[in-house]
A = this chain, B = another copy of it.
């Protein structure tokens, strides 16, 4: 992330907290092991995994589904700071209490790891602390990219960056980088990119009209002209 995809100021959709796949040569990987044996929890769409102020007693790994992480202002305005997909860890980095909310956006299965177990694992495996550090560093880098996007880019640029991030994730996972399903609503996308539902919707329509994407269903996106989209993402908005 940030090193991926040329020098493209890549926006990362996912916190991407998955630890490096444990090197197979290692005899024992306490954390991965503990995690694998952790309890499985199911949450329905819209159900909260944790909310601001909750004791941060577990770290979760998303097994299936998707989770939105967000903060809210007193008057209800909401900023989604990331989406977690299968393989991503959520709840890391909280000391004592959670300072944000985690809400499933579709039926989701989570692997639960008690904080106490995490601490034990860190004690057993000194390199784990460094791995957690690296995981947070990646998360921080993607957060900064998102800042760059919401702070400086136009609505079109933001939406296109968002779509291209999906494309990259699919490519990374060996799936079709030109077609994907959006697990979140327009409202979620808006609250992630700092736009309104209407602006997100209009931007999708504009991109479709321009022949750059197709929308077979409102939640399904097909990228038709990725190069043109990459051009749009960076600021040469004169292309329109």
Which A residues are within 8 Å of any B CB, using their own CB? 2-3, 9, 71-75, 77-79, 81, 92-97, 99-100, 122, 126, 129-130, 132-134, 136-137, 139-141, 143-148, 150-153, 191, 193-194, 234-236
Q: Which of B93, B94, B122, B143 contacts A147 (CB 8 A)?
A: B143
Neighbouring B residues of A134 by C-beta, 8 Å? 95
**B150, A77: Cβ atoms closer than 8 Å:** no
How near does chain B come to A94, taking the closest CB pair, in angstroms?
Answer: 8
- Is the Cβ of A148 less than 8 Å from the Cβ of B71? yes
Q: Which chain B residue lies CB-closest to A52? A: B7
What's the least CB distance linking A127 to chain B, in Å? 9
- A193 and B139 alpha carbons, distance in the complex (Å): 21
Interchain CB contact under 8 A, B147 and A75: no
In the complex the two chains form, is B152's CB within 8 Å of A78's CB? yes
Contact call A3/B136, Cβ cutoff below 8 A: no
9 extra A-B contacts, CB within 8 A, seeds A9-B71, A9-B73, A93-B140:
A2-B99, A73-B153, A74-B235, A79-B148, A93-B137, A100-B144, A129-B130, A133-B136, A151-B191
